[in-house]
Amino acid sequence: MSRILGVGAASLTTILRVERIPATPTKVLAKDCIVLGDGMSASAVCAAARLGAKAAWLGRLGQDATGDRILADLTLAGVDVGQVRRAPEGRSSVSSVIVDAKGERLVVPFHDPALDPDPAWLPEAAIAGADAVLVDVRWVEGAARALEIARATGRIAMLDGELTAPGILERLMPLATHVVFSEAGLGLAYGGDLVAAARALQGFVGVTRGPRGFAWIENGRARESPGFAVEAVDTLGAGDVFHGAFALGLVEGMDIARAARFANAAAAIKCSRFGGRLGAPDRAQVEALLQIRPDS
């Protein structure tokens, strides 16, 4: 069984569904509400587990009820959390998300800076024992350490190149074997120029483009895998689902094009469902979509 490890952020998120996201201060009544575990690397490994991987997550949580719920949700998703650090200082991360009728969202996260950033406790054996390690940008010190260990031991060391504070991507990108940008992250790091990113970095580079699918550079040439057209209900977590599915595909021996198509299908199904990562599909659902739309 393929082993996928996430290192980084996990939070407890409240998702509120509204008709439209207000442009000015006002009061809006929600049509639906759900509270669930979230976080980029955490949601990515949840998606991988749903698709059949042996998944685990490493990160820092406070010793609070919020952290208890985050761990419970990860465990329910089939993710091993046996080596997560519960810090006596700091609070577990929380987030509020407003999702509109088109599936677009406004995200307001809180990550407590009081949580100890020291990554010395990270278990090297767990990182070296994974087939692929996925990190996000929310815990920079932990991400750097995990990428270093994964790369040194010949594993896939994948960075979620998301929008973040200046300097963070510059620190982490050279450590990764694979950098999968969001469009906003690519814009921050290289002005949206994927070719420039490929020239600057020694590993694989690609970018998720929402409904337009995925683009990457292969042997110096720009390649793309178009997205699957769906009616978007909730796009929260779509990128995370893509990352988890893409990493799993690579570990299973798929080439880039096939892994991208597999991940595009998983992300599209997620977008058709409300509830963040709870909308992540299982393997049979992804394979069914790939059969129905063989040319996408």
Domain ranges (residues) in the chain: 3-292
pLDDT(238) > 80: yes
Rounded to the nearest 10 degrees, the angle between the axes of helix 238-251 and helix 256-271 is 150
Q: Tell me the pTM.
A: 0.95
pLDDT at 173: 99
Q: Check pLDDT > 70 for residue 233.
A: yes
Residues 70, 97: Cα–Cα separation, whole Å? 16
pLDDT at 182 over 90: yes
Among candidate residues 264, 184, 275, the one with its CA nearest the CA of residue 230:
264
Q: What is the pLDDT of residue 296?
A: 58
pLDDT band for 295, please (50, 70, 90 cuts): low
Residue 184 pLDDT exceeds 80: yes
Beta carbons of 135 and 160 less than 8 angstroms apart: yes
Of 206, 215, 163, the closest CA to residue 184 belongs to 163
Cβ count within 10 A of residue 61: 24
Average pLDDT over the chain, rounded to an integer: 96
State how far the Cα of 246 lies from the Cα of 276, in Å rounded to an integer. Answer: 18
Average pLDDT over residues 88-108: 93
- Indicate if the pLDDT at residue 133 is higher than 90: yes
Least confident interval from 37-41, 108-112, 290-294? 290-294
Give which of 280, 236, 249 is closest to 77, Cα–Cα.
280
pLDDT-derived band at 293 (thresholds 50, 70, 90) equals confident
Residue of 158, 175, 293 whose CA lies nearest to 230: 293
Distance CA 161, CA 36 (A): 24
Superfamily of chain region 3-292: Ribokinase (3.40.1190.20)
